Amino acid sequence: MRHLTSIFLLAITATLLAQNPHGPALKIDCATCHSPEGWAIAAEAWRQEERVVPGEAQRFSHTQTDFPLTGKHGIVDCRDCHSSLVFEEAQTGCINCHTDLHQQTVGTDCARCHSTEHWLVDGISELHFENGFPLLGNHAVADCRDCHTSETSVRFDRIGNDCINCHFDAYQATTMPDHEAAGYSTDCWICHDVASPGWLWTGGAGTHSFFPLTKGHAINECTACHIGGDFTNTPNDCFACHQADFQATTSPDHEAGGFPTDCTVCHNTDPGWPATDFTQHDDLYFPIFSGKHNGEWNECTDCHTTAGDFKAFSCIDCHEHDDPGDLADEHNEVSDYTYSSQACYACHPKGN
């Protein structure tokens, strides 16, 4: 009996195998797709979204396979993917069925940029961000083809992110200033901003840090210092630019006073030219950083009480203002004594 059953089963299997054009690996029940009426499947069934093959019990869903039909694949004819009835022969990689129009310029992983919905790419800006080249400012409004200049519009040959890769011509064409002659860096971003209109220089403390444009030098007009738009050989010596100012001084008269022409001895770039350091005062006029008056005054105006006139000064605002009699006592022995600042200074030119 056992022997007979085995032979019988073998016969059925052989018949089925002979009738199965789908290859031995197909695990799905024949009745899922075929009806008892015959092996043929009506043409319209190939295109039904639900993949329901006509007949009561016959229902095949592609989700039963390792390749669910998402997006546009849901309305594709079985035969466009399965060129033979051996279903397992279909391959799952996008590139196995779709032509790489990019001609290997973006790799083989199509799903990195595409879905099965359509071939448009939604994440263009993310894509550029991930490539280390976010499309900002002027680059955001530029056309793809301005940068991706390959033969076809879908070849994305590597360009490289360096500014000079795309702006070499602009760099070479510059005249105001002539970048090449001046030996400027080809990292344009050091001085230019992709977000600023045109090739305006972006300024800011960071970019002009070799000569900070702060305080009295916070000047928008570059040509105030870069005469005629020549950015090279700009002197950084104060006197070179401020000689006329030096010569025009009246209070104090710098030339008459024999002041050094190195302005930084007494000034920084604070607007209005206040003196930040003036130890020369001691030798030139009257000891105030040394001698008896060192530390005894707070403001220049303690002595120079007339604003803007350093020639004018007062001693008696401090010395016994309330009681000139005391001073008179001190000068009992001094015949020419008078109570006036000019007189004090004349007899005590060094404050002692």
Q: Which of 245, 255, 326, 329 binds ligand HEC (CB under 6 A)?
A: 245
Give the residue with the Cβ less far from ligand HEC, 55 or 216.
Answer: 216
Site residues for ligand HEC, 206-235, by CB under 6 A, read 208, 210-211, 213, 216-217, 219, 222, 224-226, 231-232, 234-235
Residue matched to tokens 């015949």 = 335
- Shortest Cβ distance from residue 229 to ligand HEC (Å)? 7
Q: Which of 13, 165, 214, 276 binds ligand HEC (CB under 6 A)?
A: 165
Site residues for ligand HEC, 33-52, by CB under 6 A, read 33-34, 39-41, 46, 51
**Cβ–Cβ < 8 Å for 58, 31:** yes
Give the residue with the Cβ less far from ligand HEC, 55 or 139.
Answer: 139
Residues 6+ apart with CB under 8 A from 66: 92
Q: Which of 55, 59, 103, 110 binds ligand HEC (CB under 6 A)?
A: 110
Tokens of 134: 């976010």
User: What distance in Å separates the CA atoms of residue 57 and residue 31, rounded to the nearest whole number?
Assistant: 8
- Shortest Cβ distance from residue 56 to ligand HEC (Å)? 16
User: What distance in Å separates the CA atoms of residue 339 and residue 330, rounded to the nearest whole number?
Assistant: 12
Q: Does 82 bind ligand HEC (CB under 6 A)?
A: yes
Q: Does 59 bind ligand HEC (CB under 6 A)?
A: no
Give the residue with the Cβ less far from ligand HEC, 1 or 175.
Answer: 175
**Cβ–Cβ < 8 Å for 261, 239:** yes
Q: Does 156 bind ligand HEC (CB under 6 A)?
A: yes
User: What distance in Å separates the CA atoms of residue 175 and residue 171, rounded to the nearest whole number?
Assistant: 9
Q: Does 111 bind ligand HEC (CB under 6 A)?
A: yes
Q: Which of 35, 134, 239, 282 binds ligand HEC (CB under 6 A)?
A: 239
User: What distance in Å separates the CA atoms of residue 314 and residue 300, rounded to the nearest whole number?
Assistant: 11
Q: Does 136 bind ligand HEC (CB under 6 A)?
A: no
**Cβ–Cβ < 8 Å for 141, 197:** no
Smallest Cα–Cα separation from 142: which of 166, 173, 113? 166
Determine how many CB atoms are found less than 10 A away from the CB of residue 28. 12
Q: Is 160 exposed, middle or buried (0-12, 13-18, 19+ CB in 10 A)?
A: exposed
Q: Which of 52, 54, 67, 212 binds ligand HEC (CB under 6 A)?
A: 67
- Shortest Cβ distance from residue 3 to ligand HEC (Å)? 26
Q: Which of 6, 61, 108, 306 binds ligand HEC (CB under 6 A)?
A: 108
Residues 6+ apart with CB under 8 A from 22: 85, 86, 87
Residues binding ligand HEC: number (CB under 6 A): 189
User: What distance in Å separates the CA atoms of residue 311 and residue 309, rounded to the nearest whole number?
Assistant: 5
Give the residue with the Cβ less far from ligand HEC, 4 or 113.
Answer: 113
Residues 6+ apart with CB under 8 A from 112: 106
- Shortest Cβ distance from residue 164 to ligand HEC (Å)? 5
State the maximum Cα–Cα separation within the chain, in Å, rounded to a whole number: 159
Site residues for ligand HEC, 15-34, by CB under 6 A, read 16, 19-22, 25-26, 28, 30, 32-34
Q: Does 286 bind ligand HEC (CB under 6 A)?
A: yes
Q: Does 155 bind ligand HEC (CB under 6 A)?
A: no
Q: Is 43 exposed, middle or buried (0-12, 13-18, 19+ CB in 10 A)?
A: exposed
Site residues for ligand HEC, 292-351, by CB under 6 A, read 292-293, 296-297, 300, 302-304, 310-311, 313, 315-319, 327, 330-331, 334, 336-339, 341, 343-345, 347-348, 351
Q: Which of 55, 94, 155, 282 binds ligand HEC (CB under 6 A)?
A: 94
